[in-house]
Amino acid sequence: DAGVTQSPTHLIKTRGQQVTLRCSPKSGHDTVSWYQQALGQGPQFIFQYYEEEERQRGNFPDRFSGHQFPNYSSELNVNALLLGDSALYLCASSLVRGFTEAFFGQGTRLTVV
């Protein structure tokens, strides 16, 4: 049973560019959440998707957007990249109902130069 998979693992972008990160949730999970982890900090919640809609959002600007597909996979898009967007981006999946712990992917390391 595959866990949460993210692609790509590493990415280098130039300031001002746009980037798309991808996540496939654990089999059977229907909810995907995205987190940003700056160096030396704990992960920070960006937003959560369920039934192809954004359900809750953390304190991130609207340069950060997302999408969830009918197969529950998800994308995170970041426009107009800033140097401060350099971070590890983590995807977590869970079930919206009932208790399940969150399963995290290995993350995508984004470097903005």
Partner 1 sequence: DAKTTQPPSMDCAEGRAANLPCNHSTISGNEYVYWYRQIHSQGPQYIIHGLKNNETNEMASLIITEDRKSSTLILPHATLRDTAVYYCIVRVAGTGANNLFFGTGTRLTVIP
Chain contacts with partner 1 (rule: CB under 8 A): 4, 31-33, 35, 40-45, 48, 55-56, 58, 90, 92-107
Nearest distance in Å: CB 99, partner 1: 5
Q: Which is nearer to partner 1, 13 or 102 (CB)?
A: 102
CA distance 111 to 85: 8
Q: Which is nearer to partner 1, 91 or 112 (CB)?
A: 91
> How would you write 48-76 as a 3-class SS string?
EEECCEEEEECCCCCCEEEEECCCCCEEE
Length of the chain: 113
Nearest distance in Å: CB 36, partner 1: 11
CB-based burial of residue 58 (10 Å sphere; 0-12 exposed, 13-18 middle, 19+ buried)?
middle
Nearest distance in Å: CB 74, partner 1: 12
Report residue 101 CA to chain centroid gap.
Answer: 17
Q: Which is nearer to partner 1, 15 or 55 (CB)?
A: 55
Nearest distance in Å: CB 16, partner 1: 27
Q: Which is nearer to partner 1, 41 or 111 (CB)?
A: 41
Are the CB atoms for 8 and 26 separated by under 8 Å? no
